[in-house]
């Protein structure tokens, strides 16, 4: 006859209605003794429930989201092999447990000092010479786990704690659990810190136990508040994140944020801590809305929503970890004025910093003779104006650039995120940096290879106007395959533009000027355009960069070369 065994929820303390957050078995699975069946979560711990027998799962009586208590059926097993003989009956188990309790009680009675630590006890009581009750706070029975990691310390010397208030948080390979205080009192000493390993019976601190009247009338203070330090702001007062960016330019107060505590202690259940770790939320910055400012899951969600809604726009939040800059009080040397960066400047500062520290930059300089190109442009000037077009040198340069990009396709590419392949692009979308009163923007002109000089000149005028009027959309500034930054209208002889990721190169143009150029017989005046090519040295080497700018200079010297494509 088939031996069907019912596996039920074991004693999980006084936690009734524990939530099932994970189901680890299904019908047909073969499980061994101590194999986990379900994962339960209470307000104090997340724990796996192991199987008391070995066998084949014939039915599962619960599902994720159910609430169970001691004695509730989890699964039914069909006994296999030696599991039947190894399984003790419930009456026998009860008898063994009863005898164990009797023996424990007898041993405790014989002790002429204080009671020895029982497996379900958190404290040992010692009476000192002045009749104050001092207790050692010890690690309770945590099953067969030893050297368990302390992942959070919730108390500090001088803190007043209430009964059942969390003291430390432990993490094993099966559960994260809070160790609660079994009595109310004042913490006099803390013996552990985050990162320590503890086992059952280890002392984690000392406490002066409150009298019955004190325990009933005195509420717990925030556990980690040191009594001798200055008073901390209450949790109801919104504050800013305490980091270097906030010190330099404070962000607006927000109800979901609080000041980062210097002791790093927060008050949250294990499930909330795990939820915060999954989302990458720093609980020390989250304001709790629960009882005694305890952080709830909803607080974490609100904090993450707020963080995602605001741009991380400071120049110190780049892609590479950098030493924190010291805060300088400039006002001590004279009168100062603080002016907020525009949104464009904030976003640009982050992107430029990321690009500069993550892309190995090299800049190659070359002068292009555009004497004939400019003469050709001027010959078309009146004709273009009649057509409503304002011809600029940049439209011609863009056509010459595409001609050179086709000859050097590596420059019209992006480095794949795996760092092991190159994405060669068969389109020519050129980003053009445009100066606006609020900062620099880089709109993109698409399919430059398919458009004529007049059309490119018109589009250049249109995107420049849209940029200055703040009418550019997100799509207008995405998808470039190469970028041009022109400072010719301002001046300068050369500069080192920063590569705009994910492009691998950028061409900087300075102001052209008439210069004497030796033609082999004599010096003649020629209109020379200074060019500065910055490139990603992971993709492009110096020889290729030199060949690129030489090719481009030759193309611009004789713009008819674009007809050779």
* pLDDT attached to residue 135: 84
Same structural domain, 420 and 546: yes
* pLDDT attached to residue 252: 41
CB count, 10 Å around CB of 321? 7
**Collapsing DSSP states into helix, strand and coil, what is residue 490?**
coil
Same structural domain, 376 and 477: yes
Q: Could you say which of 41, 67, 87 is where a domain stops?
A: 87
**Within a domain: 388:** yes
Residue recorded with tokens 């009595």: 183
In the predicted structure, residue 375 carries a pLDDT above the cut 70: yes
In the predicted structure, residue 73 carries a pLDDT above the cut 90: yes
Q: What residues contact 519, with CB distance under 8 A and at least 6 apart?
A: none
CB 562 within 8 A of CB 551: no
Q: What residues contact 105, with CB distance under 8 A and at least 6 apart?
A: none
Same structural domain, 194 and 257: no
In the predicted structure, residue 545 carries a pLDDT above the cut 90: yes
The Cα–Cα gap between 169 and 469 comes to 55
Higher pLDDT: 182 or 451? It is 451
* pLDDT attached to residue 214: 60
Q: How would residue 526 be classed by pLDDT, with cut points 50, 70 and 90?
A: very high
**Within a domain: 339:** no
In the predicted structure, residue 221 carries a pLDDT above the cut 90: no
**Within a domain: 346:** no
In the predicted structure, residue 241 carries a pLDDT above the cut 70: no
Q: Could you say which of 172, 201, 217 is where a domain stops?
A: 217
Q: What is the pLDDT of residues 293-310, one digit of tens each?
A: 778 888 999 888 888 766
* CATH of residue 270: 4.10.320.10
* CATH of residue 162: 2.40.50.100
**Within a domain: 513:** yes
**Within a domain: 333:** no
Q: How would residue 285 be classed by pLDDT, with cut points 50, 70 and 90?
A: confident
Q: What is the mean pLDDT of the chain?
A: 78
> Using the 8-state DSSP alphabet, how is residue 556 labeled?
H
* pLDDT attached to residue 316: 40
Q: What is the pLDDT of residues 5-15, one digit of tens each?
A: 999 988 877 66
Same structural domain, 363 and 510: yes
Higher pLDDT: 308 or 123? It is 308
Same structural domain, 249 and 213: no
**Within a domain: 100:** no
Share of the chain above pLDDT 90, in %: 31
Same structural domain, 133 and 262: no
Phi, psi of 91 (to 5 degrees): -60, -40
The Cα–Cα gap between 343 and 501 comes to 20
Same structural domain, 470 and 530: yes
Active-site residue (options: 330, 429, 537, 551): 537
- Reply yes or no on whether 537 is catalytic: yes
**Within a domain: 190:** yes
Q: What is the pLDDT of residues 396-422, one digit of tens each?
A: 999 999 999 999 999 999 998 878 889
Q: What is the pLDDT of residues 139-159, one digit of tens each?
A: 887 766 678 888 888 888 888
Same structural domain, 249 and 212: no
Q: What is the pLDDT of residues 260-281, one digit of tens each?
A: 444 455 677 777 887 888 888 8
In the predicted structure, residue 465 carries a pLDDT above the cut 50: yes
Burial 60-77 (b: 16+ CB within 10 A, else e): bebeeeeebeeebebbbb
CA distances from 340 to 248, 318, 532 (A): 11, 19, 32
* pLDDT attached to residue 475: 83
**Within a domain: 131:** yes
* CATH of residue 459: 3.30.559.10
**Collapsing DSSP states into helix, strand and coil, what is residue 358?**
helix
Nearest to 433 by CA among 371, 366, 490, 362: 490
Same structural domain, 497 and 430: yes
* pLDDT attached to residue 352: 84
Q: What is the pLDDT of residues 421-463, one digit of tens each?
A: 899 999 999 999 988 877 788 999 999 999 999 999 999 999 8
Q: Looking at the 3D structure of the chain, how many domains does it have?
A: 4
* pLDDT attached to residue 216: 56
Same structural domain, 157 and 78: no
Same structural domain, 178 and 252: no
Q: Which domain holds residue 477?
A: 359-564
Same structural domain, 402 and 543: yes
Q: What is the mean pLDDT of residues 332-342?
A: 87
Q: What is the pLDDT of residues 187-219, one digit of tens each?
A: 999 999 988 888 888 888 898 887 665 655 555
Q: How would residue 254 be classed by pLDDT, with cut points 50, 70 and 90?
A: low
The Cα–Cα gap between 401 and 381 comes to 22
């Amino acid at each position: 006859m088939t031996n069907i065994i019912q596996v039920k929820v074991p004693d999980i303390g006084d936690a009734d209605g524990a939530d099932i957050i994970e189901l680890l078995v299904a019908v047909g699975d073969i499980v061994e003794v101590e194999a986990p069946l379900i994962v339960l979560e209470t307000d104090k711990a997340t724990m796996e429930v192991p199987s008391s027998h070995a066998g084949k799962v014939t039915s599962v009586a619960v599902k994720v989201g159910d609430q169970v208590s001691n004695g509730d059926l989890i699964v039914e097993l069909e006994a296999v092999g030696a599991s039947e003989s190894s399984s003790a009956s419930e009456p026998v188990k009860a008898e063994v447990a009863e005898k164990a309790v009797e023996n424990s009680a007898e041993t405790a009675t014989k002790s002429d000092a204080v009671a020895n630590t029982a497996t379900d006890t958190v404290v040992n009581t010692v009476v000192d010479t002045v009749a104050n009750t001092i207790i050692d706070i010890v690690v309770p029975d945590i099953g067969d786990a030893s050297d368990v990691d302390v992942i959070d310390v919730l108390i500090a010397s001088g803190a007043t704690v209430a009964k059942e208030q969390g003291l430390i948080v432990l993490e094993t390979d099966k559960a994260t659990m809070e160790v609660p205080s079994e009595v109310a009192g004042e913490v006099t000493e803390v013996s552990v810190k985050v990162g320590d390993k503890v086992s059952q019976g280890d002392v984690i601190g000392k406490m002066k136990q409150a009298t019955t009247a004190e325990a009933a009338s005195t509420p717990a203070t925030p556990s980690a508040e040191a009594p001798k330090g200055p008073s901390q702001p209450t949790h109801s007062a919104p504050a800013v994140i305490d980091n270097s960016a906030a010190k330099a330019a404070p962000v607006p107060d927000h109800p979901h944020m609080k000041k980062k505590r210097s002791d790093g202690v927060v008050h949250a259940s294990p499930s909330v801590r795990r939820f915060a770790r999954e989302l990458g939320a720093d609980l020390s910055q989250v304001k709790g809305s629960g009882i005694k400012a305890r952080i709830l899951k909803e607080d974490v969600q609100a904090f993450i929503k707020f963080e995602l809604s605001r741009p991380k726009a400071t120049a110190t939040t780049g892609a590479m970890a950098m030493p924190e800059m010291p805060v300088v009080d400039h006002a001590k040397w004279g009168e100062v004025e603080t002016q907020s960066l525009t949104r464009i400047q904030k976003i640009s500062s982050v992107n430029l910093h990321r690009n500069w520290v993550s892309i190995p930059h090299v800049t190659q300089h070359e002068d292009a003779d555009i004497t004939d190109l400019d003469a050709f442009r001027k010959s078309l000037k009146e004709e273009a104006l009649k057509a409503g077009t304002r011809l600029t040198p940049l439209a011609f340069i863009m056509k010459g650039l595409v001609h050179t990009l086709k000859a050097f396709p590596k420059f019209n590419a992006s480095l794949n995120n795996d760092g092991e392949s190159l994405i060669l692009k068969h389109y020519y979308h050129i980003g053009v940096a445009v100066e606006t009163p609020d900062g620099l923007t880089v709109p993109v002109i698409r399919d430059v290879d398919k458009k004529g000089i007049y059309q490119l000149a018109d589009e250049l005028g249109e995107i420049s106007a849209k940029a200055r009027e703040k009418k550019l959309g997100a799509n207008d500034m995405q998808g470039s395959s190469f970028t041009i930054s022109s400072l010719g209208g301002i001046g300068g002889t050369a500069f080192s533009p920063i590569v705009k990721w994910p492009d691998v190169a950028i061409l900087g143009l300075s102001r052209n000027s008439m210069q004497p150029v030796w033609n082999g017989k004599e010096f003649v005046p020629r209109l020379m355009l200074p060019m500065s090519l910055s490139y990603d040295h992971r993709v492009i080497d110096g020889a290729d960069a030199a060949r690129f700018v030489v090719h481009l200079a030759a193309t611009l010297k004789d713009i008819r070369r674009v007809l050779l494509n």
